[in-house]
Every structure is written in C-alpha cells, then in structure tokens.
A = this chain, B = another copy of it.
Amino acid sequence: MSTHNSLIDEAVKSFSSLPGVGSKTALRLVLHMLERDQSYTESFTQSLMALRSKIRPCNVCANYTEAPVCHICLNPQRDQSLVCVVETIRDLLAIEQTGHYRGCYHVLGGVISPLDGIGPADLRIDELVERIKTSEIKEIIMAISPTIDGETTIFYIAKQLEGLDVKTSQIARGVSFGGELEYTDELTLSRSIQTRIPYQLTKTTDSSI
C-alpha cells in the first residue's frame, strides 16, 4: 500500500514496524498525526526520545529505571531478602500488576536456549550468584516459563546455587483460577495432582508475600 508520498510512506513504515500494527492501522495513525496540531507530534516524539535516552537497566536487578538503582530495589518496604527471578521485564511488570508480591526481582534477560545460541553467559546468572553471595538474600523464587528451555535454565541456576545458604523455590504450576479441568492440558493436570497441596479450612486474610 503506497500513498505516492514518501514522507507519509516513511511514517507508515515506522508505525508498521511496531508489533501488532499492520499497514492499514499505520496509515490511520499517520492521518491522526496529520489531523492534530504539530505540538501533538512534538510532545509524542519528545516523550519517546526522553524514554529511550534516559531509561536504563537497574544496576541490581536490571529492571528499567532512570536512576542507577530502581524504585523496587530501593524501597525499604519491600523484602530485600526475597528475590523473584524472571526472564524479562514484561514478566516483572505482570507480577507487579498482581499487587501481591512484596519482595524484589532479578531479570535474567531470557532463558538458556542452545537453538537460539543463548548460553548461561548471555544471561544475568553470574550477577545473580554474586548478588546472593554479597547480600542478605534468603530465598530465590524462580518465575520462569515452564518450557524445556525454562526448565533447563532453572536447573542450571539451581546447580550454581548449590552450597550457598539460600532457599530456592519455583512458582506453582497447575489449573488456573476459572480454568475448567476438562480443557486443561494433560501435563498441567497430571502435575497439578502430583504437586497437590493440603486443603486449609481457615484462610489467611492477606495473600501478599
């Protein structure tokens, strides 16, 4: 789809390069830009440039931050002895959105994937080990995707942590809330029976950790 105008076509190409934006939607966004005042495009582009030039990884956990250390690592109300290991910042944000986790994070930057040429050295695993050795971390929660690569990564990290005074756990796998047993895949269902938990008649009022 071409509009016979190189500037419009370039802007359409820019928007189309965003995930989930096709060329028709991109053209709609470009026309929206043209219909609004120039100041709209200016503040739009300025917010993106400010974002990209100032945001950097936290020195401790690799979360996005403007400061050397992010607001989660610096927050005295968060449990600094509990670290949740995630693949990406998207996963960190997903856990933050639940509002129930009060510990800290460690972003790996992916999982070990021999097929994609990603080895342990490409991930922030050494930094995690170093962090455990030099600070008061008591427990590591592995919140990593239950894929073959994810399981390999969990196994590798657990091996690295052998001999260190730190508890390791992984997030529970099972039937999701609202999920129907009938439509749950066999592996998840069989695992959820194997890893069953005792039923408690009295419930705690606060489910935060």
Kindly state whether residue A3 has any CB partner on chain B within 8 Å.
yes
Chain B residue numbers with a CB within 8 Å of A202 are none
Report yes or no: B89 in contact with A31, Cβ–Cβ below 8 A.
yes
Q: Would you give the shortest CB distance from A56 to chain B, in whole angstroms?
A: 9
Interface residues on A, range: 35 or more
Report yes or no: B48 in contact with A44, Cβ–Cβ below 8 A.
yes
Kindly state whether residue A8 has any CB partner on chain B within 8 Å.
yes
Kindly state whether residue A117 has any CB partner on chain B within 8 Å.
no
Chain B residue numbers with a CB within 8 Å of A7 are 47, 50-51, 54-55, 66
B-contact 0/1 string along A1-34, CB 8 Å cutoff: 1011101101101100111100001011111111
Kindly state whether residue A41 has any CB partner on chain B within 8 Å.
yes
Report yes or no: B29 in contact with A53, Cβ–Cβ below 8 A.
no
Most buried by B among A1, A51, A93: A51
Kindly state whether residue A43 has any CB partner on chain B within 8 Å.
yes
Binding site secondary structure of chain A: helix
Report yes or no: B47 in contact with A5, Cβ–Cβ below 8 A.
no
**In chain A, residues 37-68, which have Cβ atoms closer than 8 Å to a Cβ of chain B?**
38, 40-45, 47-55, 64-66
Chain B residue numbers with a CB within 8 Å of A1 are 97
| Bound: A181/B202 CA distance, A | 63
Question: When A18-B29, A31-B90, A43-B14 are in contact, do A8 and B97 touch as well, CB less than 8 Å?
Answer: no
Q: Which residue of B lies closest to A97 (CB)?
A: B1
Report yes or no: B20 in contact with A25, Cβ–Cβ below 8 A.
yes
Most buried by B among A28, A34, A38: A34
Chain B residue numbers with a CB within 8 Å of A53 are 38
Report yes or no: B10 in contact with A51, Cβ–Cβ below 8 A.
yes
A-B complex: 8 closest residue pairs judged by Cβ atoms: A45-B45, A41-B52, A11-B51, A14-B47, A10-B47, A14-B44, A7-B51, A11-B47
Between A and B, 23 residue pairs with Cβ closer than 8 Å are A5-B65, A5-B71, A7-B50, A8-B51, A8-B64, A11-B47, A11-B50, A11-B51, A13-B47, A17-B44, A18-B29, A19-B28, A19-B32, A30-B51, A31-B89, A34-B51, A34-B52, A34-B55, A34-B64, A41-B48, A41-B49, A42-B52, A45-B48
